[in-house]
Structure 1
Amino acid sequence: MTSFLRRHRHFFSTAVFLAAIIGILFYVEPIKIIAAIGVKNMYVAVFLFAIVGGVSAFTATSFYASLFAFALGGGDPLFLAIFSAPGVLIGDYLFWYLGHKGKPIVKPAIEHILERTSRWLSAKPAWFIPAAAYVYTGFVPLPGEFLMVTLALIGISFKRIFIPTLFGNFTLAFIVSSSASYGISIFGFL
């Protein structure tokens, strides 16, 4: 058992790190964090929230609520998206790394599914995976960790999806922050 833990220490240390962040954020309210940071440091705060928000489905809701609140507080939607996209990408990379390092552990259990998915994707054109990564991260309001872990398990390199994922994260953040900014001027009651 000890050699198993030693061989997979990167996987388990990343998993424990993610669990600790999720646990802390579960008990600390985003409003308290925003109040402590202040409006002057809004863009730095958005970047830091994006890193934490990009780590899990449990913290993504808090991040997008904070992004919405910062946009309502007068933040520029373009700058909010520019600062948040790299932060969410860092969270996406953590899950890709977790899937990459966890591949030897889970592969025996789901090998036939991974092979079938890999064969299906290899029949698609080369642009399909980057385009799908952009559409998923930019327009689908689901956590990015499922996509990242799946792509890592089937052997897709992070370099291949880096740019589309970054642009997808930018697109979603811009949609959310623009909805807050321009929604209040259009509807007047947000």
Structure 2
Amino acid sequence: MAVAVAGVLVAAGAISYAVAEDSGSDTTTPTADSADAGFARDMSVHHQQAVEMSYIVRDRTKDEDVRRLAYDIAQTQANQRGMLLGWLDLWELPKVSADPPMSWMGMGDMPAGKDGALMPGMATNSDLKKLGTLSGKQAEIFYLQLMTDHHKGGIHMAEGCVDKCTVGVEKRLAQGMVNGQQSEIDLMAGMLKERGAKPRS
């Protein structure tokens, strides 16, 4: 365990160094209303819910494949969330904004999120409550469906950053999210099929 933690800390240090190095090559630090800051704020919120859902399902099933996927998603997205919030600190920008979610990518006029689903793809509070009441195969299916929708929303947002962000290391992280989450969507489609189910959308 100590080795794993040390590895994460080393990676975090390398990332901090890369950010500082990369930011130095940019002419200006992003502003509070930039795509870079908007993506960092919004994706950190989006990621936090994925982490929450993953820990819920991990306690609701004994299926090793689903538990492994949930653990991987939770770890990956918690680490990425740390990077995003770290960049906001580095840029001395607020972690919350009065602007509607996704305004930075021209979607600020979308309807206000319902029942806790602040952005496209996010689960509602009712969805999360339901997930916490299911167990076994039912929990697995609902989690895979919720996470597929979640990833689709996340990919759309990450593609917005690839297109609009200006900080190189953040654009690369966003592209990595697109690739990684699309791969997981494909994996989850197969896992749903094995369980006689399909994605919700």
Q: TM-score, normalised by structure 2?
A: 0.27
User: Which structure features the higher share of helix residues?
Assistant: 1
Q: Which has the higher contact order (CA 8 A, sep 6+)?
A: 1
